[in-house]
Structure 1
Amino acid sequence: MKNLGIVRNMDELGRVVIPMEVRRTNGWEPRTPLEILATDEGVFIRKYQPRDSEKEKVAETLIAMAATAKDQAQKDALTQAVALLKKN
């Protein structure tokens, strides 16, 4: 991780302001949902992406791979993987 050299105090309600430069760099507009993850080093903040969105991205990638697969066995395996993702 990159040290930005920015220090902020937490207020009485536990809030911390994310500096404007950090918000701009990450494309975080007001009302952007953020996800906070605990790590051994502290916390990690990133833009929230619902799980279904992640599944859709993986499914799209697998579909593209199936379209360029060399043989039918690969195409079938990738198509089955997409079906399993969409089923769950």
Structure 2
Amino acid sequence: MRPAGVVRKVDQLGRIVLPKSLRKRYKMNEGDPVEIFVSGDHILLERYRPRCVFCGALDVVDYRDKYICKGCLGEMTQFHV
């Protein structure tokens, strides 16, 4: 992981501002969801990408307000009675 060379302070509500250059580089717009991960002493921010609720795959479709990959959806319909 490379440091971006930018330092920001956390405000009283726990917010930080991502520099415009980073938002532009990573195609992040106002209102975009961001996922927060913790790895050891590091806090990682990543653009949210829906994953399959069963296997975690990224190539998903919206099925009844749940994200499911085509493989798992095929397995579900195979056993549907």
- Highest relative contact order (Cα 8 Å, sep 6+), 1 or 2? 1
| Separation (CA, whole Å) in 1 of partners of 2:57 and 2:4 | 32
Match of 1:47 in 2: 47
Which AA in structure 1 matches 2:4?
L
SS in 2 for 1:51: coil
| Separation (CA, whole Å) in 1 of partners of 2:34 and 2:58 | 20
Number of aligned residues: 64
The 5 A counterparts of 1:8-47 are: 8-47=8-47
Cα offset for 1:8?
0.2
RMSD: 2.2
Which AA in structure 1 matches 2:36?
I
Instruction: Output the TM-score relative to the length of structure 1.
Output: 0.62
Cα offset for 1:52?
3.3
Which one has a larger percent strand, Structure 1 or Structure 2? Answer: 2
| Separation (CA, whole Å) in 1 of partners of 2:58 and 2:12 | 40
Which AA in structure 1 matches 2:29?
E
Calculate percent identity across the aligned residue pairs.
Answer: 28
SS in 2 for 1:52: coil
In the superposition, relative to structure 1, how do residues 56 and 26 fare at CA in structure 2: closer, same or farther (>3 Å)? closer
| Separation (CA, whole Å) in 2 of partners of 1:12 and 1:42 | 21
Q: Which has the larger radius of gyration?
A: 1
Which one has a larger percent helix, Structure 1 or Structure 2? Answer: 1
